[in-house]
């Protein structure tokens, strides 16, 4: 069956409660200079290297952060990644796990959103 909808993710929205705090946190964790939020301070597009865009969204004050990670970031160095997260005192919620094709670690942002970083297995 054909569909007019492309199988390509355009943007991922991460709900946040405090845009300023979240912008600083994501900038520190991902290593970028946080741009000013748009849409009256409720939307912040995070610069990405490729793939889907990533957006902090403070328009949903009633969101809940429960559930599994809804996306993941790539890394080429899991040891350095975990050390970086610990240095920033990020709440890490899993050990590094090896599932064969990737290693991954899970952690949370200040709102409790579940996040994940993966490294391809050699």
Q: List, in sequence order, every residue forming a beta bridge with 30; answer none if it has no partner.
A: none
The CATH number of the domain covering residues in 64-122: 3.10.180.10
> Of 39, 46, 30, whose CA–CA distance to 60 is shortest?
39
Residue 109 to residue 14: CA distance in whole angstroms: 10
Q: In the structure, what pLDDT confidence band is assigned to residue 5 with cuts at 50, 70 and 90?
A: confident
Alpha carbon 88 to its chain's center = 15
Q: List, in sequence order, every residue forming a beta bridge with 53; answer none if it has no partner.
A: 11
> Of 90, 87, 11, whose CA–CA distance to 55 is shortest?
11
The CATH number of the domain covering residues in 10-62: 3.30.720.120
Residue ranges per structural domain of the chain: 10-62, 64-122
Residue 76 to residue 81: CA distance in whole angstroms: 9
What is the pTM assigned to this prediction?
0.90
Tell me the pLDDT tens digit for each residue of 12-71: 999 999 999 999 999 999 999 999 999 999 999 999 999 899 999 999 988 998 999 999
Residue 122 to residue 118: CA distance in whole angstroms: 12
């Amino acid at each position: 069956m054909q569909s007019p909808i492309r199988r390509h993710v355009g943007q991922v929205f991460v709900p946040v409660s405090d845009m300023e705090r979240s912008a600083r946190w994501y900038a520190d964790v991902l290593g970028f200079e946080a741009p000013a939020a748009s849409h009256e301070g409720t939307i912040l597009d995070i610069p990405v290297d490729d793939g889907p865009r990533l957006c902090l969204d403070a328009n949903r004050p009633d969101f809940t952060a429960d559930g599994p990670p809804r996306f993941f970031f790539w890394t080429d160095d899991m040891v350095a990644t975990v050390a970086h997260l610990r240095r920033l005192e990020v709440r890490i919620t899993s050990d590094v796990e090896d599932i064969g094709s990737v290693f991954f670690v899970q952690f949370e942002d200040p709102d409790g959103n579940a996040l994940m970083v993966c490294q391809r297995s050699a």
